[in-house]
C-alpha cells in the first residue's frame, strides 16, 4: 500500500494552504477551526476508499465550538497511483484541485447552502464547476494539465458518490 512520504506531505500541506487562500479570497470565508486533513497513514477507524481521491467526513462535536467539524481524508494510494499513471500531472496541482473542491463542499455545508445528507450528484456538479471557476481566477501552474486529464476520464475517479453511516460518523465521498 502506497503512503505519502515526507516530501509528499510537505506538498500536501502547501497545496492545502493554496486551496485555503483561494477559497478565503473568493468567498471571504475563514477556514480555521472547521476542518482538518488526514492521510491514509493517519486514519484511525476510517476505511480507505477505492476510486476516490478524498473522502469527506462530518464529525459531530461534543465540546463547545462549531456545530460540525469536517475531516478531509486523502486517499494516498489513489492519488499516488493516479500520478504514476499520469506523469505529466504534478502532486501540488492535483492536491490544490482536490482541496479546493473539498473546501467548497465544507463551505456549502457549514453555511447551509447544501445538505451533507442531500442529493450528492447535483452538489458534485455544482462544486466541480465552482472549483474550476475559482482555480481559473487563481491559476496554479500545472492545473490546466490536471483539468484536461480529468475531463477525459469518464467515471473514475470523479463523481463517485457514496453516503455511509459508521458508528456516529457520517462519511460522504466527494471526489
First vs last C-alpha separation in the chain: 20
Q: Using one digit for the tens of pLDDT, what is the confidence trace for 32-83?
A: 889 999 988 787 555 666 788 999 999 876 666 657 899 999 999 999 999 9
Question: In Å, how far are 39, 95, 128, 139, 147 from 132, measured between CA atoms?
Answer: 24, 14, 6, 10, 8
Choose among 128, 134, 83, 77: nearest CA to 105.
128
Residue 1 in any domain: the answer is: no
Residue 85 in any domain: the answer is: yes
Output the nine-digit C-alpha cell for 52.
476516490
Residue 106 in any domain: the answer is: yes
Instruction: Note down the domain range covering 79.
Output: 6-65+72-164
Q: Using one digit for the tens of pLDDT, what is the confidence trace for 99-138?
A: 999 999 999 999 999 999 887 778 888 899 899 999 999 9
What is the DSSP track for 102-162? HHHHHHHHHTTSS-TTS-HHHHHHHHHHHHHHHHHHS--TTHHHHHHHHHH--SSSTT--E
Residue 122 in any domain: the answer is: yes
Residue 133 in any domain: the answer is: yes
The Cα–Cα gap between 160 and 4 comes to 23
SS3 state of residue 171: strand
The Cα–Cα gap between 12 and 106 comes to 18
Residue 33 in any domain: the answer is: yes
Domain count within the chain = 1
Residue 81 in any domain: the answer is: yes
Query: CB count, 10 Å around CB of 5?
Result: 11
Whole-model pTM over 0.95: no
Residue 45 in any domain: the answer is: yes
Amino acid at each position: 500500500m502506497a503512503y505519502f512520504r515526507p516530501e509528499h506531505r510537505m506538498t500536501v500541506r502547501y497545496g492545502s494552504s493554496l486551496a485555503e487562500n483561494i477559497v478565503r479570497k473568493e468567498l471571504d470565508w475563514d477556514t480555521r477551526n472547521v476542518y482538518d486533513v488526514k492521510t491514509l497513514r493517519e486514519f484511525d477507524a476510517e476505511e480507505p476508499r477505492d476510486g476516490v481521491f478524498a473522502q469527506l467526513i462530518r464529525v459531530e462535536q461534543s465540546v463547545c465550538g462549531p456545530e460540525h467539524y469536517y475531516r478531509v481524508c486523502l486517499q494516498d494510494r489513489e492519488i499516488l497511483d493516479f500520478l504514476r499513471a499520469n506523469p505529466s500531472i504534478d502532486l501540488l496541482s492535483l492536491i490544490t484541485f482536490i482541496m479546493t473542491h473539498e473546501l467548497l463542499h465544507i463551505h456549502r455545508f457549514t453555511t447551509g447552502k447544501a445538505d451533507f445528507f442531500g442529493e450528492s450528484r447535483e452538489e458534485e456538479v455544482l462544486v466541480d464547476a465552482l472549483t474550476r471557476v475559482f482555480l481559473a481566477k487563481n491559476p496554479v501552474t500545472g492545473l490546466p494539465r490536471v483539468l484536461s486529464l480529468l475531463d477525459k476520464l469518464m467515471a473514475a475517479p470523479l463523481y463517485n458518490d457514496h453516503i455511509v453511516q459508521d458508528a456516529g460518523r457520517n462519511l460522504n465521498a466527494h471526489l
